[in-house]
Structure 1
Amino acid sequence: MFSLPESRPAHILWLLAISLAGASSSLNAQEEGKAKPAADKTAAEAPQPVFFLRDGSRITGLPDFDSLQVKTRYGTLNVPSTDLVRLRLTPRTGNESRELIEAEILRLGGSDFDEREAAMDALRKLGTPALPFLNKLATSDDEELRNRSLLLIGEIRSRIKEANKHDDEFPALVGGADEIITRRFKIRGAIEETSFSVKSRYGTLAIKVADILGVDFRTGGAIQETVTIGSKHLVPANWSNTKLFISAGITLRIKASGSLFVQNYNLNSGPQGTTRYSGTTYKNFPMLSLVGKIGRNGTPFLIGANYKAQARTGGTLQLGVVPFRTNYKATGTYKVRISTGD
């Protein structure tokens, strides 16, 4: 602060006070203007759900709904969008397809052999939409009808897995009801919406539910899971599929504890494994070490007791144990805690 002589005229003091106030307001406005872009940038870069479409494309964006209505056999549920972890959607069946399937189902149980064979071919071509109808026949008292339906179910499911353009990054739901996984429990039912409005970086899209394979809401780091891996999960033959979907670019953290014991050698090993004994090992990783990979065809990596890295690719997290020497079995388990996000 500074002082002015008392002899200074009053109108000069008044003008000086206005000037100082204006300068202060201008400075505050500049500071606020600088702060806003940072806040906007943070909001724009916040992790968003990923929509996996049946044509193989992926869209990242925010769905325009506060809750999701799910019709179950016990009633209709309203699931808050903030509780959603993952959606997997069963293929939709139009009214025309439904009528056609029902007609072929009747032919499949008919008395004429040629008609039954023709119905098999027709249902085979109809594919996924026919699964709910065939599943009901799988418990039929008619042995031939039951066997034919089971054969078709197996063929159609195999085709669905082969046709999934997202591979195991997001496994397709094979028949049945929609699968809704929340932070608290899993729900099976029918999502009643026919389309979603999704706000992406480049504009707002209207996506039909029939075109959606599934939605992963966990890109913000919602995964918090604990699994047990034991000596039966020896790689490369017996990887354990955790069924946890890891999005590309997300930070993956894994902490493991516990031990495996080889009685013949009186050896106890933790998740970091042991290098005490010589011999060729899987990918040159230590014997009995905890290892992982992302996706069925992902590159294996050493986890040990502590692991933290950014996922280079997306897919299902697979875990396993590097075998000890041939013909020597280990007992025990590793407790593995998995989390994602910063």
Structure 2
Amino acid sequence: MSALNTFKTLKLDRVGRDFGAMNALKDLSLDVKRGEFIALLGPSGCGKSTALNCIAGLLPTTRGSIWLDDKRIDTLGPEDRGFGMVFQNYALFPHMSVRDNVGFGLRMRGVAREEAAKRIDAALATVRLSNQAQKLPGQMSGGQQQRVAIARAIAIEPPLVLMDEPLSNLDAKLRLEMRQEIRRIHAGLGSITLYVTHDQDEALSLADRIVVLRDGEIRQIGTPEELYQRPATLDVAEFMGFRNRLPGDIVGTMGDTVSLNVGGETLDGSARENLAGGTAVAAIRPEDLQAGEHGFPAVVDICEYRGHAFFGAAKGPGGSEVFFRSASRMNPGEQVRLAADPARVLVFNEAAA
């Protein structure tokens, strides 16, 4: 077995990647233990796919180094790293059968026919496609094609499986089903999975830890629970579902509790930073901002039913758009008051907005 397949830790040490004058990655440092599932999360252009391609060897790094234990790998070509890659568009050969697609990487590596057959059979069994081996990709659904791409990636028995937004082309039902499949497959491999996504639900449901990137920099690393409940900065909070950003004047503090004047009403929350000035921004998830008898005033724009509750958008203080939850349907133009449990309100510096 290759030394790369027996590693314990993947280490990125101040990895940077420039495109001319643009710094696409800025001193990325990260340690990942064998068996971990890591999601690289962030908006388009944040550097997450660039980071994945640098780890894969598809892009050279401008500075820094990448290690598997004490073996430096950023100096190796992609074929010598032996990582499995799953792309957004599947990248299957349309003229080859499923079995031949899965075995392609093994043939390129010169694996003996008998050994290759065993690995192909095992990979197809892992993704539950053993009975589809002779089909062409065009005869399969999108979810099945993505499972073929995963089988091809794992057939080479890689130390790392790298996935670049693999579910973005699938419909909502298939995405949910494939999340479960990917997590199950990862658990059976015992290697590292690095998963690029811009979808916070995917990251939360799949990852052991999430790395949030913005403008080529790591903004926060933590478990799904840590990032969901305690985002460290306003931009991380916004990406973790805190869609409401309400500026206000600080009118009182007690420990971590901060009181803001928002639309003439007091809104209490928890400080997530050392607040520098007389103004701050409260971040609240739509499901936590609820219509009722108390709170700041707003005017309803739209209200829609989502099965378990009504969710709406309204014009809040200063004309800002706010998103809220209601127990009953509300009509456009209706006056409403919105409030949130202080424990569910996070307060950040206004400058971070």
Q: TM-score band (shorter)?
A: under 0.3
Pick the structure with greater CA Rg: 1
Select the structure with the greater relative contact order (CA < 8 A; seq sep ≥ 6): 1
TM-score, length of structure 1 as denominator length: 0.25
